[in-house]
């Protein structure tokens, strides 16, 4: 884990041992908008603005990997206009931010069934992944059209196919091998999973990968989750995992 000075809500700074991988369920955007007399889409736009700030905060804090639950496989059940807007947001986001990601050496990854996205959304995501694949700084991993159960089922199917094709033996199948068939292959499991919006559940997010993750449930809606909020979660995590001299 890296070291950094992180500003705390009390106004001071503390030298922290940082988690390597932080994952966030960005919940409450639509409700944030409704609470303010706005549309749910305006709430989602505010969520994107908050997401940009969290990416910048992770960059500043020297966190290595940030995974963001941007769109679940269950979100297709939402109203059509809302889904269409959610599919437009990655197009706009990557068009605006890709030059900045290149400048900051940020690497973009996509976790989920990307083939199931609308063509324009898929093109924007694939372009961001391809153009940043040579970067070796902060990894920002977007979970798009993602479902944890489906990920595990698909991994099982791939393992069975490998066995049927006699590429591997049954007794070779262990956790390390199985992880190679997950969307997140090559990434360490998250140290922390944060959920905003007041709900205390993980909503089919990183079911395999979260086995040993520390869960933090935050009352505020995601548009109100900022760098200080993130720093407090990391500070609380650090107190549990670090013995100060």
Catalytic-residue membership of 238:
no
| Average model confidence (pLDDT) across the chain | 92
pLDDT band at 10 (very low <50, low <70, confident <90, very high): very low
> Across residues 125-146, what is the average pLDDT?
98
Say how far apart CA 9 and CA 30 lie, in whole Å: 26
pLDDT band at 239 (very low <50, low <70, confident <90, very high): confident
Whether 8 has a pLDDT exceeding 80, the answer reads no
Instruction: Tell me whether residue 195 is annotated as binding.
Output: yes
Catalytic-residue membership of 171:
no
Instruction: Tell me whether residue 202 is annotated as binding.
Output: yes
> Residues of the chain with pLDDT > 70: what percent?
92
Identify the active-site residue in 56, 60, 62, 75: 75
Instruction: Tell me whether residue 216 is annotated as binding.
Output: no
pLDDT band at 14 (very low <50, low <70, confident <90, very high): low
Identify the active-site residue in 27, 145, 191, 238: 27
pLDDT of residue 242: 66
Instruction: Tell me whether residue 37 is annotated as binding.
Output: no
What is the pTM for the complete model shown?
0.91
- Ordered structural domains, the chain, with CATH: 17-147+189-237 (3.40.1180.10)
């Amino acid at each position: 884990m890296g070291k950094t000075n992180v500003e705390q809500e009390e106004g001071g700074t503390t030298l922290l041992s940082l988690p390597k991988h932080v994952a966030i369920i960005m919940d409450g955007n639509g409700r944030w908008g409704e609470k303010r007399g706005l549309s749910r889409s305006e709430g989602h736009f505010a969520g994107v603005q908050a997401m940009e700030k969290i990416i910048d905060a992770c960059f500043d804090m020297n966190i290595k990997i940030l995974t963001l639950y941007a769109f679940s496989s269950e979100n297709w059940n939402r109203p059509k206009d809302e889904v269409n807007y959610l599919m437009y947001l990655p197009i706009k986001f990557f068009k605006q931010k890709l030059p900045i990601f290149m400048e900051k050496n940020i690497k973009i990854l996509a976790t989920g069934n990307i083939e199931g996205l609308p063509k324009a959304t898929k093109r924007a995501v694939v372009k961001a992944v391809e153009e940043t694949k040579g970067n070796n700084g902060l990894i920002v991993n977007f979970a798009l059209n993602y479902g944890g159960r489906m990920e595990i089922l698909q991994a099982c199917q791939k393992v069975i196919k490998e066995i049927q094709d006699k590429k591997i033996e049954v007794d070779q199948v262990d956790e390390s091998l199985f992880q190679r068939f997950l969307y997140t292959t090559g990434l360490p499991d998250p140290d922390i999973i944060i959920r905003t919006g007041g709900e205390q559940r993980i909503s089919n997010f990183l079911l395999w990968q979260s086995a040993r993750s520390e869960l933090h449930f935050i009352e505020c809606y995601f548009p109100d989750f900022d760098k200080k909020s993130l720093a407090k979660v990391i500070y609380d995590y650090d107190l549990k995992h670090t013995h100060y001299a």
